[in-house]
Amino acid sequence: MPIRPENRFFYPIDWVQLSQVIRFERAKGCCEGCRRPHGQLVCHLGDGRWWDTAAQTWRSGKGRRLKLASPEALSADTPCYTTRVYLACAHLDHDPGNNTPANLKALCQRCHILHDREEHLRQRWLTYRVRKAIGDLFLGPYPFRY
């Protein structure tokens, strides 16, 4: 995910190189949360379970092996989605100034969004409050509804 322009100055000048070292040298191109491979199309069930074609097995959202049938053997009513996996370098403590290797982790988009869930909920709450305040400021109080 690209860095927002207003947050660019929080990151070091060599962030691109640092991120590549974490994602491709340390993590070897796989998510450190669920082991999904970078750049590959992955078949998944939408709940975190995904098909690992290299090992020919299903894996959980944490990367553990599961005992399920192959994707071809699933029933017709079971939805199977495909997603291209992209790795990102995530700060575990959510501080972009703390770039120690122990604080950085290579995560796929699913693991990254789950890791940042609390921050996204906080930001959503703040956005709603700001919208309500702007509405009150320019439009007057909102009508009371049940």
How much is the average pLDDT of 68-80? 74
Rounded mean pLDDT, 69-84:
78
The pairs formed by 16-20 with CB atoms below 8 angstroms and a separation of 24 or more are 18/89, 18/99, 18/104, 19/88, 19/89, 19/104
Cβ atoms within 10 Å of 90's Cβ, excluding its own: 20
Average pLDDT over residues 47-67: 89
Q: What confidence score (pLDDT) does residue 136 get?
A: 60
pLDDT at residue 138 is higher than 70: no
Helix (H) or strand (E) run with residue 113 in it: helix 109-115
Residue 18 confidence (pLDDT) above 80 = yes
Domain range annotation of the chain: 5-115, 116-146
Q: Is 44 helix (H, G, I), strand (E, B) or coil?
A: strand
- The predicted pLDDT at position 139 comes to 62
Going by pLDDT thresholds of 50, 70 and 90, the confidence category of residue 137 is low
Higher pLDDT, residue 129 or 40: 40
65 pLDDT higher than 60: yes
Give the per-residue pLDDT at 119: 87
pLDDT at 13 over 60: yes
pLDDT at 58 over 80: yes
pLDDT of the residue at 108? 95
